């Protein structure tokens, strides 16, 4: 499937076909998620109403990590297998990932004030998330610094692969160091320690954000493909 | 409904929660609108180039 | 292989001797920044003594970013980087030899800069020894990371800001570990664990930089 969709025109046809469904799913899940967040989720016994920030903060954090991993995987495919769409997908994902990382930091900061009494603290997870934002900004600036897009993509791919070391630090920082940030409540390897009345809105909001991100990614990939087609036409006209 | 009404009455935490949601939606709307506008512009440019 | 490496090393040392003014620019920047920091923080010797490690590391960081370009830009502009590759020298050896020479060039001014720091920042002998070992063990990682950022931005005009943006995510963990201080630590004890962490950093950074540097050099010389 991955190599079948390497054909840009085939990818555009595929994304045009599923885009409407992504939009419907996003609207549906976001509405249901917000309903669950505000109407069905109880306040936390310690944090009170501010626990509702979790339903927007945690999905943003998950996706900030997921998109960086995706960029690193695409970079690997681009450098090793020379997959035609891998660079384009990296370019499309980087600004979205940076926005979600920024959203994570801002909502985390707002959540931290009533919970910890401070807007910011230099603990392992927050610092490594900030480092992730710098990595995203570095990748975006580097890939756009060259007139030759291929060169920019290659350098950005190398930078993203080198920066992958930051991801396990973010993920396990709360376990390795004695940090202010709470440890993970949801794990693949054990049952979640979070109540179902809070877990359900969290999962629903996560999927809503997923479909939104997929929609935006497909739009940006289509833009990149069109940009490259335009560049080819213009360069053939000049020659 | 009960949870929502209690939430609206909580003067201490309401500003924080509301601000977070507004900021996140603002960021998501900006990135969505920017992507759509860029795509529309490129589609117009591509159609013009094809016509020439 | 060792013959080739020593040939490259000899070449780099010869070139660096021709550009010996790098040492004076590095030293003068280091000194001026140190003075500015001490004037900024104030005459409180206790405060200066507490902050000596972060001050020295910050100044080193900025100095390395400023002068690291000299080791690569000239070779790129006059085509030597491409020529070395065409002559069959492996990219890893080219980068490694540059890193070694850069380290040697930067260590020389530290022989008089670190004792000067000890006077200005009121360090005792143990702190001085600890700082010197810190610098010797930590600067190779800083140098390797700066080489990578230079290689990535070598073809970009006005790349200083971009270099800084690229370097930041990799310097932050290193700076955190080099400047961290155990609150129970007294100034009479040398913390060996910190040195082991710095050696570990270097051992992790070296293969990553050599591998990624090889890919970047191949792309630069295309």
- Tell if the CB–CB gap between A131 and C165 is shorter than 8 Å: no
**Which residue stretches of chain A have pLDDT < 70?**
1-5, 173-193
- Tell if the CB–CB gap between C169 and A131 is shorter than 8 Å: yes
B and C touching (3 or more beta-carbon pairs closer than 8 Å): no
Residue C191 has pLDDT above 80, yes or no: no
Q: What mean pLDDT is predicted for residues B32-52?
A: 92
- Tell if the CB–CB gap between A38 and B4 is shorter than 8 Å: yes
- Chain C interface test: which of A124, A134, A153 (most C C-beta within 10 Å): A134
pTM of the model: 0.88
Q: How confident is the model at residue C164 (pLDDT cuts 50, 70, 90)?
A: confident
Please count the CA atoms within 13 angstroms of the CA of C140 that sit on its side-chain side. Answer: 21
Q: Which residue has the tokens 């979600």?
A: A100
pLDDT on residue A104: 94
| B-proximal residues of A, 95-114, CB under 8 Å | 95-96, 99, 102-103, 106-107, 110-111, 113-114
* B20 interaction partners in chain A (CB closer than 8 Å): 53, 56-57, 106-107, 110-111
Q: DSSP letters of chain C?
A: -HHHHHHHHHHHHHHHHHTTHHHHHHHHHHHHHHHHHHHHH-S-HHHHHHSHHHHHHHHHHHHHHHHHHHHHHHHHHTTHHHHHHHTT--HHHHHHHHHHHHHHHHHHHHHHHHHHHHHHTT--HHHHHHHHHHHHHHHHHHHHHHHHHHHHTTTSSS-HHHHHHHHHHHHHHHHHHHH---TT--TTS--HHHHHHHHHHHHHHHHHHHHHHHHHHHHHT-
Q: Which residue has the tokens 């505000």?
A: A38
Q: Residue B35 sits in which domain range?
A: 2-51
Please choose, from the candidates C69, C183, C89, C192, the residue with its C-alpha nearest in 3D space to the C-alpha of residue C134: C192
Give the number of other CB atoms < 10 A from CB of residue A213: 23
Q: What are phi and psi of C161, to 5 degrees?
A: -65, -45
Q: What mean pLDDT is predicted for residues B15-38?
A: 94
Please choose, from the candidates C42, C68, C61, the residue with its C-alpha nearest in 3D space to the C-alpha of residue C178: C61
Give the number of other CB atoms < 10 A from CB of residue B31: 21
The domain ranges of chain A are 20-181+192-238
* C216 interaction partners in chain A (CB closer than 8 Å): 155, 158
* DSSP-derived secondary structure letter, A39: I
* DSSP-derived secondary structure letter, C156: S
- Tell if the CB–CB gap between A107 and B31 is shorter than 8 Å: no
pLDDT on residue A176: 63
User: Cα Rg for chain C, rounded, in angstroms?
Assistant: 18
Q: How confident is the model at residue B36 (pLDDT cuts 50, 70, 90)?
A: very high
- Tell if the CB–CB gap between A134 and C152 is shorter than 8 Å: no
The complex scores an ipTM of 0.89
Q: What distance lies between CA A93 and its chain's CA centroid?
A: 7
- Tell if the CB–CB gap between A158 and C212 is shorter than 8 Å: yes
pLDDT on residue C120: 81
Please choose, from the candidates C6, C139, C163, the residue with its C-alpha nearest in 3D space to the C-alpha of residue C60: C139
Please choose, from the candidates C16, C137, C8, C11, the residue with its C-alpha nearest in 3D space to the C-alpha of residue C67: C16
Tokens, residue C124: 């005792």
Residue C122 has pLDDT above 60, yes or no: yes
- Tell if the CB–CB gap between C162 and A159 is shorter than 8 Å: no
pLDDT on residue C88: 84
Considering its fold, how many domains does chain B have in total?
A: 1
**What is the residue-averaged pLDDT of chain C?**
84
pLDDT on residue A218: 94
Residue A27 near chain B (CB below 8 Å):
no
Q: State how far the Cα of A209 lies from the Cα of C20, in Å rounded to an integer.
A: 56
Q: State how far the Cα of A193 lies from the Cα of A199, in Å rounded to an integer.
A: 9
**What is the residue-averaged pLDDT of chain A?**
86
- Tell if the CB–CB gap between C168 and A138 is shorter than 8 Å: yes
Nearest to C169 among A135, A155, A158 (CB): A135
Domain A20-181+192-238 is found in CATH 1.20.120: yes
**What is the residue-averaged pLDDT of chain B?**
89
pLDDT on residue B43: 93
Q: How confident is the model at residue B30 (pLDDT cuts 50, 70, 90)?
A: very high
- The least confident of A117-131, A189-203, C27-41, C73-87 is A189-203
> Taking CB atoms and an 8 Å cut-off, how many pairs form between chains A and C?
55
pLDDT on residue C124: 83
- Cβ atoms of residues A131 and A104 within 8 Å: no
């Amino acid at each position: 499937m991955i190599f079948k969709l390497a054909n840009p025109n085939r990818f555009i046809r595929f994304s045009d076909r599923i885009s409407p469904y992504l939009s419907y799913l996003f609207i549906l899940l976001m509405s249901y998620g917000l309903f669950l967040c505000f109407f069905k989720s109880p306040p936390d016994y310690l944090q009170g109403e501010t626990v509702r920030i979790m339903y927007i903060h945690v999905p943003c954090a998950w996706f900030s990590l997921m998109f960086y991993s995706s960029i690193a995987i695409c970079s690997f495919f681009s450098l090793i297998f020379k997959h035609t769409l891998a660079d384009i997908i990296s370019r499309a994902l980087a600004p979205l990932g940076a926005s979600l990382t920024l959203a994570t930091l801002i909502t985390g900061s707002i959540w931290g004030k009533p919970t910890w009494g401070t807007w910011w603290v230099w603990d392992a997870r927050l610092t490594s998330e900030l480092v992730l934002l710098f990595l995203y900004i570095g990748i975006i600036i580097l890939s756009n610094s060259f007139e030759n897009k291929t060169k920019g993509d290659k350098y950005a791919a190398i930078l993203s692969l080198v920066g992958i070391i930051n991801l396990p630090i973010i993920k396990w920082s709360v376990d390795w160091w004695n940090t202010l940030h709470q440890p993970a409540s949801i794990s693949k390897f054990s049952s979640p320690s979070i109540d179902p009345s809070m877990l359900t809105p969290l999962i629903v909001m996560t999927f809503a954000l997923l479909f939104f991100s997929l929609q935006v990614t497909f739009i940006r990939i289509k833009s990149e493909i069109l940009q490259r087609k335009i560049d080819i036409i213009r360069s053939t006209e000049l020659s | 409904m009960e949870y929502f009404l209690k939430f609206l009455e909580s003067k201490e935490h309401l500003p924080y929660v509301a601000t977070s949601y507004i900021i996140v939606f603002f960021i998501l709307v900006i990135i969505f609108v920017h992507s759509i506008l860029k795509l529309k512009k490129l589609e117009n440019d591509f159609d013009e180039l094809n016509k020439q | 292989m060792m013959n080739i490496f020593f040939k490259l090393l000899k070449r780099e040392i010869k070139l660096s001797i021709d550009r010996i003014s790098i040492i004076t620019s590095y030293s003068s920047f280091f000194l001026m920044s140190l003075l500015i920091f001490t004037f900024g923080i104030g005459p409180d010797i206790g405060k200066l003594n507490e902050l000596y490690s972060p001050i020295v590391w910050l100044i080193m960081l900025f100095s390395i970013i400023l002068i690291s370009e000299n080791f690569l830009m000239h070779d790129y502009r006059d085509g030597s980087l491409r020529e070395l590759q065409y002559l069959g020298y492996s990219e890893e050896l080219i980068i490694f030899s540059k890193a070694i020479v850069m380290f040697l060039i930067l260590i020389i001014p530290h022989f008089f800069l670190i004792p000067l720091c000890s006077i200005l920042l009121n360090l005792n002998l143990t702190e001085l020894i600890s700082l010197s070992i810190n610098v010797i063990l930590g600067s190779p990682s800083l140098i390797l990371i700066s080489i990578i950022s230079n290689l990535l931005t070598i073809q970009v005009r006005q790349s200083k800001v971009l270099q800084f943006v690229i370097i930041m995510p990799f310097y932050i963990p290193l700076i955190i570990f080099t400047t961290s201080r155990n609150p129970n630590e007294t100034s009479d004890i040398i913390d060996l664990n910190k040195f082991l962490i710095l050696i570990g950093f270097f051992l992790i950074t070296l293969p990553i930089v050599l591998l990624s540097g090889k890919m970047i050099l191949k792309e630069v010389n295309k």
